[in-house]
């Protein structure tokens, strides 16, 4: 896959959790080569420096026109890099997509609203011979799969990267660990379950939250069976969604039951007390020991815990890491700060079981 040059729309949200698709694309993608990020609130800076302090030579600019003008390669795509409330288009975002389509860029959109339904975008795409990819647009029902039990014939073991909550770094950890295993000579494949995983170039998976519930388990099984048959990996890492107990969208049992993942990497944010978006209601995230017990009840084992440090100073995150290490007696890793290479022997031991 040759990455196609693309401009990413962040629309004032690059520094917010809502910009997580843009964050993933800036960190790396085999599908798109990011030429620029559009966000007037932090224009003039390097996107990598704003994101995590690493220079990536991806400028943040104030407008789409500026992005096109400054790009060293002619951009082919305009990618929506934000998650809006309810996955709906804002007026500002729709105007930006119309401008991109009228400029001759193909559109890639991961929101629940479909860019292909907008008549202005549709007319511009037809006039330029470009494309619209609505990543969350589901396949026709006759192309979807029910769960069959074929998962139990899959040779490669599976590890699910689950989270204590949503928007906590599950996809990033999954991707980093997949890459670390590949560098170590383990033939690992990532099974994506969200739109950003597809945008970053993962080959196998589906967008879980755009599939009718009856077919979720079957589509998950089908992605894993297809990966096993075509790629014959040594191991699969499954990107988790939401969390087992976030009441706004509980998810995770599918990975442990329908995908028969017997190992879990559990992503945790020690600086977060309440479920994301439910701070005013006081909906507390359960103790990590309780979540590990629930995972065990489903027949899987927590192999390690990975930490997201949002809301904590570096020294406080390290202290939380040490405390959890003493309490849980399993590896506790800070993926963005120290990488995930320390998890490679953990995975090797799991594979040898």
pLDDT digits (tens, 9 = 90+) for 216-257: 999 999 999 999 999 999 999 999 999 999 999 999 999 999
Q: Which fold has domain 4-134?
A: Rossmann fold (3.40.50)
pLDDT digits (tens, 9 = 90+) for 2-39: 999 999 999 999 999 899 999 999 999 999 999 999 99
pLDDT at 281: 95
pLDDT at 164: 98
Given pLDDT bands bounded at 50, 70 and 90, which one contains residue 329? very high
Whether pLDDT at 300 is above 90: yes
What integer best gives the mean pLDDT of the chain?
96
pLDDT at 94: 96
Domain ranges of the chain: 4-134, 143-352
pLDDT digits (tens, 9 = 90+) for 148-180: 999 999 999 999 999 999 999 999 999 999 999
Domain 143-352 in CATH: superfamily? P-loop containing nucleotide triphosphate hydrolases (3.40.50.300)
pLDDT at 73: 85
Q: Mean pLDDT, to the nearest integer, of 129-134?
A: 98
Whether pLDDT at 72 is above 90: no
The fraction of the chain above a pLDDT of 70, given in percent, is 100
Same fold, 4-134 and 143-352: yes
Question: Mapping DSSP to helix (H, G, I), strand (E, B) and coil, where does residue 317 land?
Answer: helix
């Amino acid at each position: 896959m040759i990455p196609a040059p693309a401009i990413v729309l962040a629309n004032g949200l690059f520094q917010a959790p809502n910009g997580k698709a843009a964050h993933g694309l800036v960190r790396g993608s085999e599908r798109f080569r990011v030429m620029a990020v559009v966000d007037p609130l932090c224009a003039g800076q390097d996107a990598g420096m704003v994101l995590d302090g690493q220079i990536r030579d991806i400028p943040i600019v104030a407008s789409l026109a500026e992005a096109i003008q400054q790009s060293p390669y002619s951009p082919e795509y305009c990618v929506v890099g934000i998650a809006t409330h309810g996955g709906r288009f804002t007026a500002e975002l729709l105007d930006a997509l119309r401008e991109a389509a009228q400029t001759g860029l193909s559109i890639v959109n991961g929101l629940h609203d479909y860019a292909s339904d907008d008549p202005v975008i549709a007319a511009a795409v037809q006039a330029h011979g470009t494309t619209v990819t609505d990543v969350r647009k589901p396949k026709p029902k006759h192309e979807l799969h029910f769960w069959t039990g074929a998962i139990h014939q899959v040779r490669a073991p599976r590890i699910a990267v689950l989270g204590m909550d949503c928007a906590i770094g599950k996809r990033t950890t999954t991707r980093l660990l997949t890459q670390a295993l590949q560098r170590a000579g383990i033939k690992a494949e990532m099974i994506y379950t969200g739109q950003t995983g597809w945008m970053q170039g993962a080959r196998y998976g589906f967008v879980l939250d755009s599939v009718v519930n009856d077919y979720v388990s079957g589509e998950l099984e089908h992605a894993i069976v297809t990966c096993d048959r075509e790629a014959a990996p040594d191991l699969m890492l499954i990107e988790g969604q939401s969390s087992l107990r976030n009441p706004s969208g509980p998810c995770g049992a599918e990975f442990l039951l329908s995908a028969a993942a017997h190992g879990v990497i559990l992503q945790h944010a020690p600086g977060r007390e309440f479920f994301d978006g439910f701070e005013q209601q006081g909906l507390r995230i359960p103790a990590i020991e309780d979540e590990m017990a629930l995972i065990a009840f489903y027949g899987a084992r927590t192999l390690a815990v990975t930490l997201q440090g949002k809301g904590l100073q570096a020294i406080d995150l390290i202290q939380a890491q040490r405390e959890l290490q003493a309490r849980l007696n399993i590896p506790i890793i800070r993926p963005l700060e120290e990488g995930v290479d320390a998890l490679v022997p953990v995975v090797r031991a799991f594979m040898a079981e």
